[in-house]
């Protein structure tokens, strides 16, 4: 399963990205707004500083504008940019044109199995269901497994990346599924390291090591 970062704080991303396990970064207008910087400036810095895919969402809502905007965004780094477009009539229609232009597209804001079916049939390279928002609407996260089953049974090349998380329980449910990836904010990845059991074990290891009188060891 691929791990992506949903964030716009480039300094925070840098501290996490150095772990060397991430396949890229995902943004959207809401994420970029949190940076309190010019969106294009943030995107260009991410391309300069971090390897891997960079998912950038088109802000236009009209078809023609979306195509023009998407082409220009893609030109920033053709080998790395993956467009994002919300599920809509415009988004589904745009998939055909972007497919002709060989520009990869993620259909985002996914909440139902029929939406995945339509996006996959239209040629979406990725679909992104919103885990936390689904639960807020009373939708059980088991539906994500059904979404993946539609992709698998239909032999679509579409990849599913789950996004919008608020709890570790939601992440655990998604981690059990045969989906392509998950995308989380920096702070949520930080929670992986903050488990009380793990921290207690580390403290115990350190205390026991320090209590060994003759602890000559390898040179460091």
Q: Which residues are catalytic?
A: 84
Residue 54 CB coordination number (10 Å):
20
Contact call for residues 202 and 28 (beta carbons, < 8 A): no
For tokens 């570790």, what's the residue?
168
Burial of 120 (0-12, 13-18, 19+ CB in 10 A): buried
Both tokens of 93, joined, read: 């229609």
The secondary structure of the chain in percent helix, strand, coil, rounded to multiples of 5, reads: 50, 20, 35
Q: Where are the alpha helices (DSSP H) in 107-185?
A: 113-122, 131-136, 142-153, 168-175
Sequence-separated contacts (24+) of 154-158 with Cβ below 8 Å: 154/117, 154/120, 154/121, 156/120, 156/121, 157/125, 158/116, 158/119, 158/120, 158/124, 158/125, 158/126, 158/127
Write the CB contacts of 92 (distance below 8 Å, at least 6 apart in sequence): 107, 118, 119, 122
| Residue-level length of the chain | 220
């Amino acid at each position: 399963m691929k791990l992506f970062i949903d964030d716009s704080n480039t300094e925070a991303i840098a501290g996490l990205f150095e772990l060397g396990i991430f396949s890229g970064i995902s943004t959207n207008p809401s994420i970029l707004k949190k940076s309190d910087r010019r969106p294009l400036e943030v995107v260009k810095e991410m391309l300069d500083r971090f390897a891997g895919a960079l998912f950038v969402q088109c802000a236009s809502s009209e078809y023609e504008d979306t195509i023009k905007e998407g082409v220009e965004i893609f030109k920033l780094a053709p080998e790395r940019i993956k467009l994002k477009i919300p599920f809509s009539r415009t988004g589904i229609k745009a998939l055909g044109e972007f497919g002709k232009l060989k520009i990869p597209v993620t259909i985002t804001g996914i909440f139902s199995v029929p939406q995945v079916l339509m996006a996959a049939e239209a040629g979406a390279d990725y679909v992104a269901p919103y885990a936390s928002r689904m639960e807020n609407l009373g939708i059980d996260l088991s539906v994500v497994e059904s979404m993946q089953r539609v992709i698998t049974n239909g032999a679509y090349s579409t990849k599913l990346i789950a996004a919008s998380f608020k709890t570790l329980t939601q992440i655990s449910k998604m981690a059990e599924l045969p989906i392509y990836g998950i995308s989380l904010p920096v702070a949520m990845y930080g929670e992986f390291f903050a488990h009380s059991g793990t921290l207690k074990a580390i403290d115990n290891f350190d205390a026991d090591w320090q209590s060994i009188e003759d602890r000559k060891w390898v040179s460091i």
